[in-house]
Amino acid sequence: MSEFPPTPQSTDAVDHVSDETLRKLIGYQMKRTFNVLQADLTETLEPFGLRMLTYTALILIVDNPGLRQSQLAEAMDIERPNMVIVVDSLERRNLITRNTADYDRRANSLKATFAGRKLCEMANEAVKAHETRMLLGLDENARNRLIEALQIIEKSLAKKLTG
Amino acid sequence: MSEFPPTPQSTDAVDHVSDETLRKLIGYQMKRTFNVLQADLTETLEPFGLRMLTYTALILIVDNPGLRQSQLAEAMDIERPNMVIVVDSLERRNLITRNTADYDRRANSLKATFAGRKLCEMANEAVKAHETRMLLGLDENARNRLIEALQIIEKSLAKKLTG
DNA sequence: TATTGTTATACTCTATAACTATA
DNA sequence: TATAGTTATAGAGTATAACAATA
């Protein structure tokens, strides 16, 4: 009222955090996007007792009956030791069977059970809904270009690591 | 020679793993791409003794001198308890200072040191090179559309989680 | 010798509860 | 009472070395 307007306080408080420098980096944006994506997908799969890794493994076993753990690990790009507990958890729930392969007694032949295939189908529906929700702001073209761009980047970096 | 052509072996061995079902899912492709991206970025930052989290935190502190840990945690979308060790490691290397703020004695005011700013600049150069390497297969348009698409997805899902 | 699956182990990232000191 | 930072803790994901069984 009768006072002077408040003088700017002699603090160095930050009122708005600028992440301009970071926003320019694809890697940072990819991390942010992947984080919310993973959170939403985790929530989507929770009712089925599945996680991203177990869901992915289940699909691959359903689509490729008889594959070995090492093939599964390579396809999912995770280390064999880490595959063990993923397969453990699917087997424990009777979603897959894990039998010594007759063509190579070192290998485990993985196959989905009937229950495993049914659960996978149900989860697929939920995941489809999750993807639809996620891609709401993108038209068909934009979606295709996105997946293309991601594949190109994956190849660029995978090539670099190999060569 | 005089034998019949080899009869198909009665095994159920899988010679090629099909991930067709998965490739359709953006989430799966995003995970694959993010994984190679993160591996490459980790390697890129290793010479500077930085990781993705510490690098990101350092940039934000450089660009926003005086911000609090809680603001930093919110900007990076990680929990405050997890922020502590990130800031610890930056402070231990004298890349930042962590002082009680004069406007609120509960808060830590974070500022980059000269060494911190210099290291950040050098790391920025290396990360720029990493991004260039990564985006080799994409023209300017494709890069912009990619970052746009990622931002749209982030917003779609963040909105969903909030509302 | 090389490979498959396994165990043990360790490190990073993430998430929650509870404490302290300040507001 | 609410918030900022902290501690302790636990769960996932990821990575490597080493072993037994098998090829």
Residue A134: how many other CB atoms lie within 10 Å: 25
A129 touching chain B per CB within 8 A: no
**Identity of the residue in B17, B103, B160 whose CB atom sits nearest the CB atom of A67:** B17
Nucleotides of strand C lying closer than 7 angstroms to a protein CB: 3-9, 12-18, 21-23
**Percentages helix, strand, coil for chain B, rounded to the nearest 5?**
65, 5, 30
Sites in chain A below the pLDDT cut of 50: 1-10, 161-163
What are φ and ψ of residue B87, in 5° steps? -65, -40
Q: Which residues touch strand D (CB under 7 A)?
A: A 51-53, 78-79, 81-82, 104-106; B 35, 39, 68-71, 73, 80-81, 83-84, 87, 98, 104, 106-108
Average pLDDT, chain B: 89
Instruction: Indicate the burial class of B54 (C-beta count within 10 angstroms; 0-12, 13-18, 19 or more).
Output: buried
B98-103, Cβ contacts within 8 angstroms, sequence gap of 24 or more? B101/A11, B101/A12, B101/A13, B101/B66, B101/B68, B102/A11, B103/A9, B103/A11, B103/A13
User: Taking residues B4-29, what's their average pLDDT?
Assistant: 75
pTM of this prediction?
0.88
What are φ and ψ of residue B109, in 5° steps? -90, 120
Q: Does domain A37-162 sit in CATH 1.10.10.10?
A: yes
Whole-number CA gyration radius for chain A: 23
Beta bridge partners of A112: A96
Query: pLDDT value at position B3?
Result: 42
**Residue ranges of domains in chain A:** 37-162
**Identity of the residue in B40, B142, B157 whose CB atom sits nearest the CB atom of A149:** B142
- A130 to each of A56, A119, B23, B153, how far by Cα in Å? 15, 16, 15, 11
CATH code of the region B48-137: 1.10.10.10
Residues B43-86: tens digit of each pLDDT: 899 999 999 999 999 999 999 999 999 999 999 999 999 999 99
Residues lying close to strand C (Cβ under 7 A), chosen from 81-140 of chain A, are: 81, 83-84, 87, 98, 104, 106-108
